[in-house]
Amino acid sequence: MSVPVVYFVIPCYNEEQVLPETVKRLTQKLHDMISAGLAAPDSRMLLVDDGSKDGTWRQISEFSDHNRMVSGIKLAHNRGHQNALLAGLMTAREFADCAISLDADLQDDVEVLDEFVKKYMEGCDVVYGVRNKRDTDTAFKRATALGFYRFMAALGVDVVYNHADYRLMSRRALDALSEYREVNLFLRGLVPLIGYRSAVVTYDRHERFAGESKYPLKKMIAFAVDGITSFSVKPLKMIFNLGLLTALAGFTGTVWAGIAHFAAGWAGWIAAFWSLWLLGGFILLCMGVMGTYIGKIYAETKARPRYKIEEFKRSADQDAEK
């Protein structure tokens, strides 16, 4: 197989603190890969500015003016990590033989990039980066992440355990991905659905070397709920089962109350009070679950564009080629 054109796709949201270092390290990495015969000379990194509020885009355009390995796209709004990544991948698809997605903070070890490309050259269309340990994460993040993967598996959703969005995709896989039109994007669940030949490469995850995580707990929970409800309707079936159970409990309770009526000292109002709150709670909870799905249907039927590219800055020599 000939040496592939490799694109690194990097979503960036308010990353001015990390970008100079990231670009420096990745430029070096690309050079090394080119010399090692793992990447063609017109390989690039594509930085996607996800509507940052700081100087991220200014930095990206400056890099692309001076560094022939850097291209950039600017999204018109902040659309979130998944959409920014998709925008980058769909742009890279036009130029690259394969695209590798990675985070701007280089928490994912870049040394395994060689391994990614080797697997691609052996004929894999998707290569998943999987963390082999999580000791740089807090105990809380580890526990919640584990719970999340277990729950997804229990719901029958095919996700690769401990794989975030560090992965290589061939152009063929990207073409397949482009056919999925959903607005509620959860790439980790979508990519396994494509089903081409895949491989796993393990690596150690580092700490973010500067700046702050853009994923606070609130966003993490929203992301998990999104992942679950985009790929499984089992929660709806659970509601049905919960309804059956409650009805059964209600029936037993009624019989029991009838008997207790004749026993002395039974405070019926306590039972009435609790069943009211319990049932009210159950019903609201179930409506919440249903509401989540309805909200998704609403977003999907409108099918609004998932991102808008406001500006595309190609690297200095790509412009010269035109």
Q: Is 225 helix (H, G, I), strand (E, B) or coil?
A: helix
Q: Which is nearer to Mg ion, 215 or 274 (CB)?
A: 215
Whether the CB-CB separation of 71 and 89 falls below 8 Å is answered with no
Q: Side-chain half-sphere of 94: how many Cα atoms within 13 Å?
A: 6
Are the C-beta atoms of residues 289 and 239 closer than 8 Å to each other?
yes
Q: Which two tokens stand for residue 168?
A: 């290589």
Nearer to ligand UDP among residue 103 and residue 226 (C-beta): 103
d(CA 137, CA 143): 10
108 binds ligand UDP (CB under 6 A): no
Q: Which does 29 bind (CB under 5 to 8 A by kind): ligand UDP, Mg ion, none?
A: none
Which range touches ligand UDP (CB under 6 A), out of 103-111, 122-130, 174-182, 302-310?
Answer: 103-111
Residue 50 interface partner, choices Mg ion, ligand UDP, none, CB cut-off 5-8 Å depending on type = ligand UDP
Among 17, 64, 107, 230, binds Mg ion (CB under 5 A): 107
Restricted to residues 189-248, the positions that interact with Mg ion (CB under 5 A) are: 208
Euclidean distance between the first and final Cα of the chain, in Å? 27
Site map for ligand UDP, 6-35, x if CB under 6 A?
-----xxx-x--------------------
Residue with tokens 């090394």: 32
Could you tell me the smallest distance in angstroms from the CB atom of residue 313 to ligand UDP? 17
**Can residue 50 be called a binding residue for ligand UDP (CB under 6 A)?**
yes
Q: Residues 6 or more apart from 173 whose CB is under 8 A from it? A: 125, 126, 191, 194, 196
**Contact predicate 189/179, CB 8 Å:** no
Span interacting with ligand UDP, options 104-112, 225-233, 252-260, 282-290, rule CB under 6 A: 104-112
Interface residues toward ligand UDP, by CB under 6 A: 11-13, 15, 50, 78, 80-81, 84, 103-105, 107, 208, 213-215
